[in-house]
Amino acid sequence: MRNRRDLQSGKIDLFRAIAVAALFAAGAIAATAQTMDETWLRHGYFHGFPPVPMHVRALGHEPIEKTAVKEIVNGVDRLFGSAPSSGGDGASDEIVVGTVQEFRSAYPKLNVPSTLSPEGFWIAEMDSAGRQLVVVVGGSERGVLYGAFALIRKIATISWNPKTTITEAPAMPIRWTDEWDNADGTIVRGYAGRSIFFENGKVRDDLNAVGEYARLLASVGINGCNVNNVNDAAPFLEPQMIQGLKRIADTMRPWGVRLAISVDIASPQKIGGLKTFDPLDPAVQAWWAAKADEIYAEIPDFAGFTVKADSEGQAGPASYGRSPADAANLLARALAPHGGVVLYRAFVYNNHLDYNDMKADRARAAYDIFHPLDGKFDANVIVQIKYGPIDFQAREPVSPLFAGLEKTNSAMELQITQEYTGQQRHLVYLAPMWKEMLDFDLRAENRATPVKEIIEGKIFNRPLGGMIGVSCVGRDGWLGSPLAMANLYAFGRLAWDPNLTAEQIAEEWARQTFIQDPHLIATVTKMLMQSWPAYEHYTGPLGTQTLTDPTGSHYGPGIEGSEHNGWGQWHRDDAQGIGMDRSVATGTGFAGQYPPEVAKMYESLATTPDNLLLFFHHVPYTYKLHSGETVIQYIYDSHYQGAEEAARLGEEWATVKGKVDPRLYEDVRARLEYQAGHAIVWRDAIVQYCLKESGIPDAKGRAGHYPGRLEAEDARLSGYKVIDVTPWEDASGGKAVTCVTPTGCSAEWTYTGKAGRFDIAAQYFDLQGGVAHFALDVNGKAIAAWSADATLPSGQPNGDNSTRFTARGPDGRGIDLKPGDVLRVDGTPDASDPAALDYIEIESLIGRD
Ligand code: GCV
Main-chain phi, psi angles of 468, to 5 degrees: -120, 130
Whether ligand 1 lies within 6 angstroms of the CB of 390 is answered as no
The rounded Å distance from CA 188 to ligand 1 centre is 8
Whether ligand 1 lies within 6 angstroms of the CB of 180 is answered as yes
Kindly report which listed range (7-11, 383-387, 517-521) carries the lowest average pLDDT score.
7-11
Which protein residue's CA is at the shortest distance from atom 12 of ligand 1?
Answer: 391
pLDDT at 21: 36
**pLDDT band at 105, cuts 50/70/90?**
very high
The rounded Å distance from CA 419 to ligand 1 centre is 9
Helix ranges (H only) for 237-362 are 239-252, 267-270, 282-298, 324-335
Whether ligand 1 lies within 6 angstroms of the CB of 308 is answered as yes
**Pairing assessment for the beta strands 815-817 and 756-765 based on DSSP bridges:** antiparallel
**pLDDT band at 849, cuts 50/70/90?**
low
Nearest to 62 by CA among 92, 104, 101: 101
Q: Is the pLDDT of residue 32 over 80?
A: no
**Spatial distance between the Cα atoms of 508 and 156, rounded to a whole number of angstroms:** 9
pLDDT at 19: 37
User: Across 348-435, where does the E strand assignment appear?
Assistant: 381-386, 409-415
Whether ligand 1 lies within 6 angstroms of the CB of 189 is answered as yes
Q: Is the pLDDT of residue 476 over 60?
A: yes
pLDDT, tens digit (0-9, with 9 covering 90-100), for 825-839: 999 999 999 999 999
pLDDT at 89: 72
**Spatial distance between the Cα atoms of 195 and 191, rounded to a whole number of angstroms:** 11
Whether ligand 1 lies within 6 angstroms of the CB of 230 is answered as yes
pLDDT at 602: 98
Q: Is the pLDDT of residue 650 over 70?
A: yes
DSSP sequence for 720-754? EEEEE-SSGGGSGGGEEEEE--TT-EEEEEE--S-
Quick one: residue 138, left, alpha or beta (phi over 0 = left, psi -120 to 50 = alpha)? beta
Main-chain phi, psi angles of 430, to 5 degrees: -90, -10
Which protein residue's CA is at the shortest distance from atom 8 of ligand 1?
Answer: 391
**pLDDT band at 547, cuts 50/70/90?**
confident
Whether ligand 1 lies within 6 angstroms of the CB of 231 is answered as yes
Beta-carbon contacts of residue 318 (< 8 Å; ≥ 6 apart)? 310
pLDDT at 160: 92
DSSP, res 373: G
- The residues annotated with a catalytic role in the active site are 312, 391, 419
The rounded Å distance from CA 315 to ligand 1 centre is 15
Q: Is the pLDDT of residue 79 over 60?
A: yes
The rounded Å distance from CA 179 to ligand 1 centre is 12
pLDDT at 18: 34
Q: Is the pLDDT of residue 334 over 60?
A: yes
Ligand 1 atom nearest to CA at 419: 9
Whether ligand 1 lies within 6 angstroms of the CB of 553 is answered as no
Cα Rg for the chain, rounded, in angstroms? 28
pLDDT, tens digit (0-9, with 9 covering 90-100), for 378-411: 999 999 999 999 999 999 999 999 999 999 999 9
Ligand 1 atom nearest to CA at 554: 9
Among 177, 178, 180, which residue has the most ligand 1 atoms within 8 Å of its CB, making it the best to mutate? 180
Main-chain phi, psi angles of 614, to 5 degrees: -80, -10
pTM above 0.85, yes or no: yes
Q: Is the pLDDT of residue 279 over 90?
A: yes
How does the average pLDDT of the chain come out, rounded?
94
**Cβ 454 vs Cβ 402: under 8 Å:** yes
Among 181, 231, 312, which residue has the most ligand 1 atoms within 8 Å of its CB, making it the best to mutate? 312
The rounded Å distance from CA 368 to ligand 1 centre is 20
pLDDT at 445: 93
Main-chain phi, psi angles of 463, to 5 degrees: -70, -30
pLDDT at 88: 72
Among 182, 232, 263, 391, which residue has the most ligand 1 atoms within 8 Å of its CB, making it the best to mutate? 391
DSSP, res 322: -
Q: Is the pLDDT of residue 412 over 60?
A: yes
Q: Is the pLDDT of residue 742 over 70?
A: yes
- Residue 610's identity, in one-letter code, is D
Q: What is the mean pLDDT of residues 213-239?
A: 98
Beta-carbon contacts of residue 372 (< 8 Å; ≥ 6 apart)? none
